[in-house]
Each structure stands twice: as C-alpha cells, then as structure tokens.
Structure 1
Amino acid sequence: MSEHPVIVTGANGQVGRRVLRAWRHEAPGFDYVAVARQAGPDWQAWEAGQPPVVPKARAVVGLWGVCFGTLDETRVNLDLARAAQDLAAATGADRVIHLSTQSVYGRHCQNAAEDQTPTPANPYGTAKAEMEEMLRGIHAPKPVILRVANVIGADAISRSLAGDAPVVLDRFADGSGPVRSFIGIADLARIIAALVTCPLDQCPDVMNIASPVDLPMDAILNAAGRAFEWRDAPAGALPSATIATDRLRASGLPQPRATSAEALYRDWQLHAD
C-alpha cells in the first residue's frame, strides 16, 4: 500500500473543515496534507497552478467548490475539477474524489438513482452536471464522482439553525413539510476515507451518498430543539428531494450510521465550528 499522503483541497470550506475534524476524531488510516487558498490551523496555503505541496500523493480529495451564484460563477467548479485532476497527475495519484450534488437531478429528485439522466434546475446543479460530463472523458487519474445529499451542518437547514432569524418551513396541502436526503459529516468522512484506500477497480464512477432514511426537515429542527413556523408552500416547492442509496448499500463501503434526526444533529454538533 502506498505510503504517500492524500492531498485534500478546499480544507477551509464548509465540508472540508468538517471532514478534517471527523478524521481527527476518527483517524482515517492514512496521512494527508490539507490545502486551501490561505493557510489555516490545519492546512497549508496552495492554489491551482502552483507546484504541488508534496512530490508524490496516493489520491486527491477535492472538497472545494462554489455552491451559490450565477451559472458563470458556479462554473468555477469545472476549473477546480480540472485542477484536481492535474494535481493528481502531477503527483502520481491514481484517483480523485470529486464532490458533486444531488442537485444534478433537479426537480426529478424522488429516490433518484445514478443511472437517471441529470436534469438540473439551478445554476449550481447545472455546473456540477457539466463538471460530471467533463470528467466522464477522463480515464486516469480515475475520477470518482460522489453525488452528495444535504450534508448536515453545511446545508440550508443547518444555516437556518445557526442563525438568529425565525425559521420558517413550507407546509404542503397534505399537512407535511419538506422531506430530504441527508448525510452526516462523520459518515461522509468514512466513505471518502474508504474510497481513498480501496483497490482502484472497486471505486465507482459515480455514486449517490446519503443516509438510507429520508427525513422531514421539521424532524431536524425538533431534534435541535428549535422553534419554527409553518407557511403554505409556494407554487413549485418540492415536497420531496431524495436519492436512492442502493449502489452505496451494495458497494462494501462503510454504511451511514447517522440515520435519525437526533443522530444527525449530534453528528453536526460534534464537528461544528
């Protein structure tokens, strides 16, 4: 097994810094070097185009990305994916873990499976779908695309919980609130670690990453003990946005442990800023 470290980009981002905390709490079984544009407590300063921070690496984990903005602004994700591939090639790494999103499924995101044709409905989803299409033409280093569900602690409901403004949820005609797929940060960190260390031929081309249990957003708020208000769901609001996890369950990769609202909330607090 390679003794070269793993390079982790985007270490100062919402997901990046939480994955690093999870790895400090539960050692991943390999050395890693984390980088971001500016140096921080657990990462070095590095930007695409600069010489690699280490001469040899076993893998690159791309945790960087732009989630908000126009299509032109979010298309920087394609540049970052190319840079991660270039970094892997320059250091001899045989794989790159790329974070995509369930947003590539757009409004057709009801138990959406990996073989479903992407139909993104917002700039972020469109840019990530374009990133995936670009990566499909690359064979080495192998791109591994993870279509990640709402990462608790780095998603919209978590941002609402972290703020002081009143929280308002949509309520649909049947009296229910929005149902979403989630993933805990510790579970995401374990899956990434396993993909870094498993034989290359066991790495998927693309895989959905989520807990097998979809949850209503109000369950997360209740687990956090946070009061909220209901409003009638506006036209076009999605009652459900969920992804299938059959491929993950059959993969041999670590299976998500945080499958309840309470467990997801505890996971968030454990790895919070």
Structure 2
Amino acid sequence: MRVLVVGGSGFLGREVCRRGVQAGLSVVGTFHRTEIGVPGVAERRLDVTDRAAVRALVAEVRPDAVVATPYRYDDWTVTADGTAHVALAAAEVGARLVHLSSDALHGGRPQPYADDEPPSPVNAYGAAKAAAETAVRAIDPGAALVRTSLILGEGSKQIQLCRDALAGRAVLFTDEVRCPVDVTDLADAVLELVGSSYAGLLNVAGADAVSRAELGLLVAERFRLDATGLKTTTAAAVGVVRPSDVRLDSTRAAGLLRTRLRGVRELLA
C-alpha cells in the first residue's frame, strides 16, 4: 500500500511516516520548509494552499491512502483551505482519506465530548479546524476524521512548554484541561484507520484528563525536575481566548482499535 502523508515534517506527520515505513508501507511525505528526514520516506515539497499543486502531486503519486495533517495555528488558508484541497485531490484518485482534526474546535465544558458532537469553536483556530472537518465530510463521506488532543513524546512542544514553566520561563494554565496522547499511540491509531473502512468522526486521545498545570507537575516528576518554581495562572486571568475544559471520550476508539491509547499518568510514570 502506498500512503501519502501530507504534513510529513510535523510532529505527528513524521511519526506516521516512521511507523508506516516500519510497517512495510510505501510512504511518500510532504513538507513545506523543513524536510522530514525519515529513512525510507520519499519526500516531496508541497504548499497545500496551492490547489493546483496539491492536485498535481496527488495525481502523480496515486496513493492508496492519504493522511492529512496540515495546519498552521494562525493561518486559515493552511488549516481550512489546505485541508479542502487535499480532500478534493484524494477523492479525485479514489484514495482512502484519514484527516487529523483537533479538540480545539470544542468550546469547553465539564462533561466529556462524544465523537459525533458538533463543533462549538471559541477562537479562529477552532473555527478553521471546524471548517476543515466540514469540507472533508462534504467531499468524502467515507473519510475518517480523527479528533485528538495534546500530543506528547520526545521532542513534543507540550513537554518543552512544561519544562519552560518549571524553569520560570513560561506559565501553565490551571483551568485548561485536555486528554494528552502519546505520538506513537496516535500514529499507530491513524495507520490502523488507513487500513480500515471506518467513516466519520472518532475521538482518539489519552485516557487521562489533566490541566496543563497538572501536566507540568507530571513532567517534573518524570524527569526529576524541581517543581517549586512552576509558574501557573488561568487563561481567564490573562485574557487568552481558547477552549477551557475539553475532555474527549475515546471509548469508541478503544473498542475499535488494537492500539491502546495510554493515559498521560502511565506515559510519564
């Protein structure tokens, strides 16, 4: 099977490329600026905002499946329009599509979100991710749409943010709750979905819901760092407009997938 990973130089995309090669797949990965650097991956430069370029590359590669991970936090054209371009191109060649979405499209509440709940974005990034989902579902009803959370692992921005907060260089919010997932677990789940016929929305996140501040304490314990200097505040206090309490219920994924979605407390034990 030939798999095209759009956004292969990203944190998750690179891991999907790596795990795909290990599984014996023929993997083509795209990058915009930074090359992927995974042995066995055929690399192609691509600007997902260029619809013609996306169509041309997908038509040339003729993948059996496409894993779509493109996003840029502050750029609608990459996150929303770019995803639509990829979905259209995949549909034109009849490729299986697995799209990576985000818990950021929810507004936040104490109760966990089920897989099929409609978006309720509170900022531009969440709205862009919601628009991307709308485009994918309209273009390819058979696509799998993976809603995930904070992604952890070696080189994770989330772990580095915690380290910075422990060193007094950043702050962590006590009122922002997520369900962190390990990058290898998420990549394996994505590749399972590539080989399946699952269609529609699916929450794929870790089993534990923790605040960013709690995550910082777990990082301190895991790496034996001094937690006394941990800087915390609330998103409300500093006026940051982001989803607050977003807990993804991944029960359906746990029953569907062989990959076990470990909780953050196990990951950082």
Q: Give the structure-2-normalised TM-score.
A: 0.78
Distance between the aligned counterparts of 2:169 and 2:139, measured in 1?
46
Quote the residue 1:41 is aligned against: 37
Distance between the aligned counterparts of 2:14 and 2:110, measured in 1?
28
Summarize deviations over 1:190-225 as a string: whole Å, max 9, x none.
Answer: 111111112x2xx13001111122233122343233
Distance between the aligned counterparts of 2:223 and 2:125, measured in 1?
28
Which range is displaced more, 55-64 or 187-196? 55-64
Deviation at 1:232, TM superposition (A): 4.8
Summarize deviations over 1:170-196 as a string: whole Å, max 9, x none.
Answer: 457xxxxx5420110110111111111
More helix per residue: 1 or 2? 2
Conservation of the 8 A alpha-carbon contact between 2:151 and 2:183: yes
Distance between the aligned counterparts of 2:126 and 2:158, measured in 1?
18
The within-5 A match list for 1:81-230 is: 81-93=83-95, 95-108=96-109, 110-139=111-140, 142-153=142-153, 157-161=158-162, 163=164, 166-171=169-174, 179-198=177-196, 200=197, 203-215=198-210, 216-217=214-215, 218-226=217-225, 227=227, 228-230=229-231
CA gap of 1:171–1:23, structure 2 versus 1, over 3 A, is same
Conservation of the 8 A alpha-carbon contact between 1:61 and 1:96: yes
Summarize deviations over 1:129-169 as a string: whole Å, max 9, x none.
Answer: 122122222236x3221111111147663241465653433
Distance between the aligned counterparts of 2:199 and 2:268, measured in 1?
25
Q: Percent identical across equivalent pairs?
A: 23
SS at match of 1:136: helix
Distance between the aligned counterparts of 1:255 and 1:102, measured in 2?
19
Conservation of the 8 A alpha-carbon contact between 1:28 and 1:193: no
SS at match of 2:37: coil
Q: Which amino acid aligns with 1:220?
A: V
Deviation at 1:29, TM superposition (A): 4.0
Deviation at 1:246, TM superposition (A): 1.5
Q: Which amino acid aligns with 2:68?
A: G
SS at match of 1:241: coil
Q: Which amino acid aligns with 2:86?
A: A
CA gap of 1:159–1:87, structure 2 versus 1, over 3 A, is farther
CA gap of 1:165–1:19, structure 2 versus 1, over 3 A, is farther
Deviation at 1:21, TM superposition (A): 3.7
Deviation at 1:254, TM superposition (A): 2.0
SS at match of 1:97: strand
Does residue 64 in structure 1 map to residue 80 in structure 2? no
SS at match of 2:190: helix
Q: Which amino acid aligns with 1:130?
A: A
Aligned-residue CA RMSD (Å): 2.9
SS at match of 2:108: coil
- 5+ residue gaps, structure 2, are none
Conservation of the 8 A alpha-carbon contact between 1:60 and 1:96: yes
Conservation of the 8 A alpha-carbon contact between 1:109 and 1:243: no
CA gap of 1:157–1:109, structure 2 versus 1, over 3 A, is farther
Deviation at 1:16, TM superposition (A): 1.6
Conservation of the 8 A alpha-carbon contact between 1:220 and 1:262: no
SS at match of 1:12: coil
Conservation of the 8 A alpha-carbon contact between 1:220 and 1:261: no
Conservation of the 8 A alpha-carbon contact between 1:152 and 1:264: no
Distance between the aligned counterparts of 2:24 and 2:12, measured in 1?
20
**Count of aligned positions:** 245
Distance between the aligned counterparts of 1:234 and 1:47, measured in 2?
33
Quote the residue 1:30 is aligned against: 25
Distance between the aligned counterparts of 1:74 and 1:124, measured in 2?
7
- 5+ residue gaps, structure 1, are 173-177, 266-273
SS at match of 2:129: helix
